[in-house]
Amino acid sequence: MRRIDRAILVEGYFDAIAIDHAGVPGVVASMGTSLTSGQASLLRRFCTKVVIAYDGDDAGRHATLRAAPVLLSAGLTVSALDLQGEKDPDSLVQKHGADRFLELLGNATDIFEFALREWAGDVTKLSGREKSERVEAFMSLLNAVVDPIVRSNAIQKIADELRLPFEAVSSKVRGKSTAVADDKRLTPTSAERMNAEKSVLRAALQGKLNESLVGRLHEDCFEETGCKTIFSLIKSTLQAGNPIDFREIQTHLRGDAEATLLSELTLSDDIDDEALQRIGQNITALESFYLRRRKLEIQREIVEAAKRGDSQREAELDAERARLSRMLNTLK
């Protein structure tokens, strides 16, 4: 990665193995989980450019656009691989060989060009409101860009594609910047979020969280895969009216990493009263992070529904977005 100043980011280990076996260097897998800021920062230590080579289906393209802001925020230059109709990089390499993969890699699409293909649609048929919604979908990408010149170029691309004045898009970005700053004050950093996740799980394993507190959360409030798995098992146990059983949870874990995490959590010191008082704050932080992330996902789904002309789905998503906004307001 250091030598060629580029990483290839794929979803799973079969993709990583296939590309590496074909002799293409610098491939790494996010293992199908949501990419974290910590992982992006780690990549930034080795290179400045990342090509996202996730699966070629709708889910893979959506995952690409979710991962891109995380990578951009770390100061990385991001592009996306067009698999030319193949299911995933593994299939592409198996069918067409390393040369074809390298050819497509050399023509990887700038992430904003990729997003425009996904979100812009037929501009000639868009109303003013629909154009505004398309621009809204780009906010997470634009606000994640570290370099102001790169951001300005991206704004120009979006404005040109949607046939809007540069200032119309730029002003919307500036208007969002204050809201983004407010969000950052209310949303935990990667390290803070991990500490919050572990604190909640420690309290639950020590029997210091009642079912109502656990019921406020669900699996998607946890970003770290091991924490997500352990929380799911704890919640199922409590909802069944059973006591927490370390050995029972252990039998359902997948791999050494999750077993190590469970050991770390259970071998921790007992939570004192002061730490227990902060658990409510940790739960609120996790709820807030999840709601904000889900709102961004819904905004992208609204754009997709509008592109398909599915007004019923668009209305449903808009109502869901309003509901999440009300929930967020109750947390503030």
* CA nearest to 297, candidates 54, 65, 60: 65
Task: Tell me which of 48-57, 160-169, 212-221, 224-233 is least confident.
Answer: 212-221
Closest CA to 26 of 57, 55, 47, 56: 47
User: In the structure encoding, which two tokens stand for residue 168, read together?
Assistant: 């119309």
Give pLDDT, residue 33.
Answer: 62
Confidence of residue 256 (pLDDT cuts 50, 70, 90): confident
Q: What is the pLDDT of residue 325?
A: 82
Q: The whole model's pTM is what?
A: 0.57
In this structure, of 121-130, 162-171, 174-183, 186-195, the range with the lowest mean pLDDT score is 174-183
Is the pLDDT at 7 greater than 90? The verdict is yes
- Judged by DSSP in three states, 43 sits in helix
Is the model's pLDDT at 193 over the cut of 80? no
CATH number assigned to the domain with residue range 7-115, chosen from the 4 options 1.10.10.10, 3.40.1360.10, 2.60.40.3880, 3.30.540.10:
3.40.1360.10
pLDDT tens readout for residues 199-222: 888 888 888 877 777 777 878 888
Q: Enter the tokens of residue 99.
A: 């040369």
Instruction: Assess contact for 200 and 213: CB atoms under 8 A.
Output: no
Please report which helix (H) or strand (E) contains residue 18, including its range.
Answer: helix 13-21
Boundaries of every domain in the chain: 7-115, 120-183, 190-288
Mean pLDDT of 21-33: 85
* Beta-bridge mates of residue 277: none
**pLDDT over 70 at 176, yes or no:** no
Compute the distance between CA of residue 290 and CA of residue 294 in angstroms, rounded to an integer.
6
pLDDT above 80: residue 183: no
Is residue 49's pLDDT more than 90? yes
What's the pLDDT score for residue 124?
Answer: 76
**Strand, helix or coil for residue 152:** helix
Share of the chain above pLDDT 70, in %: 92
What is the separation, in whole angstroms, between the first and last Cα of the chain? 43
Render pLDDT for 107-125 as a digit per residue (tens, 0 to 9): 999 999 999 888 877 777 7
The pLDDT value given to residue 40: 87
Instruction: Categorize the per-residue pLDDT at 185 as very low, low, confident or very high, splitting at 50, 70 and 90.
Output: very low
What is the CATH number assigned to the segment(s) 190-288? 1.10.860
Q: What is the mean pLDDT of residues 73-83?
A: 90
